[in-house]
A and B are shown apart, each in its own frame.
Chain A
Amino acid sequence: MTTDFAQFFIDSSPDLINGLGYTLLLTFISIAAGFFLGILLALGRVYGNKIINGLCVGYIEIIRGTPLLVQLFIIYFGLPAIGIIFTPIQAALIGLSINSGAYQAEYLRGAIQSVEAGQMTAARSLGMNKLQSIRHVVLPQALRIAIPSWSNEFIYLLQYSSIAYIIQVTELTAEGKFIAAHTFRYLEIFTMIAIIYLVLTIVSSEIIDRIAKRLSIPGVGAAKGIGQRNT
Chain B
Amino acid sequence: MAMLDVKNIHKSYDDNEILRGVSFTMEKEETKVIIGPSGTGKSTLLRCINQLSPPDAGEVWLDGEEITNPATNINKIREKIGFVFQDFNLFTHLTALRNVSIGLEKVKGMEKETARKRAMDELCRVGLDAQTKQYPAQLSGGQKQRVGIARALAMDPDIILFDEPTSALDPELIGDVLDVMKSLCGKVAMLVVTHEMGFARNVADEIIFMEGGVIVESGPPKEMFTNAKTQRAKEFLGRIGALYGGG
Contact = CB atoms under 8 A, between A and B. Distances in A.
A116 B92 CA distance: 10
> Interface majority SS on A: helix, strand, loop or mixed?
helix
B151 interface: yes
B93 A126 contact: no
Interface of B: 50, 52, 75-79, 81-83, 85, 87, 89-93, 102-103, 106-107, 135-138, 151, 155
A112 to B, nearest CB: 13
Nearest to B87: A118
Find the residue from B79, B87, B91, B155 having the highest chain A CB count within 10 A. B91
B225 to A, nearest CB: 32
B75 A128 contact: yes
Contacts of B136: 219
Contact of A127 (B91, B92, B107): B107
A interface, size bucket: 20 to 34
Interface string A211-231: 000000111100000000000
Contacts of B82: 125
Interface string A103-135: 000000000000010110111111111001000
Interface of A: 116, 118-119, 121-129, 132, 136-137, 140-141, 144, 217-220
20 contacts: A116-B92, A122-B85, A122-B90, A122-B91, A123-B91, A124-B78, A125-B52, A127-B75, A127-B78, A127-B103, A127-B107, A128-B103, A128-B107, A132-B107, A136-B106, A141-B92, A141-B93, A217-B92, A217-B93, A218-B138
Nearest to A143: B93
Contact of A220 (B79, B92, B102): B92
A125 B160 CA distance: 11
A123 to B, nearest CB: 7
> Interface majority SS on B: helix, strand, loop or mixed?
mixed
Contact of B92 (A119, A126, A128): A119
Contact of B78 (A126, A140, A144, A219): A126
B135 A218 contact: yes
A136 B102 contact: yes
A67 B75 CA distance: 46
Contact of A119 (B75, B91, B135): B91
B106 A132 contact: yes
Contacts of B83: 122, 125
Nearest to A144: B93
A119 B89 CA distance: 6
A123 B94 CA distance: 12
Contacts of A125: 50, 52, 78, 81-83
B235 to A, nearest CB: 33
Contacts of A118: 85, 87, 89
A129 B75 contact: yes
Nearest to B161: A125
A113 B91 CA distance: 15
A-B pairs, 4 with minimum CB distance: A219-B137, A122-B89, A118-B89, A127-B79
Given A141-B93, A220-B92, A124 B135 contact: no
B138 A137 contact: no
Given A127-B78, A219-B136, A140 B103 contact: no
Find the residue from A124, A126, A217 having the highest chain B CB count within 10 A. A126
A71 to B, nearest CB: 36
Contacts of A217: 92-93, 135, 137
A220 B98 CA distance: 15
Find the residue from B50, B77, B106 having the highest chain A CB count within 10 A. B106
Contacts of A116: 89, 92
Given A127-B107, A132-B106, A218-B138, A121 B89 contact: yes
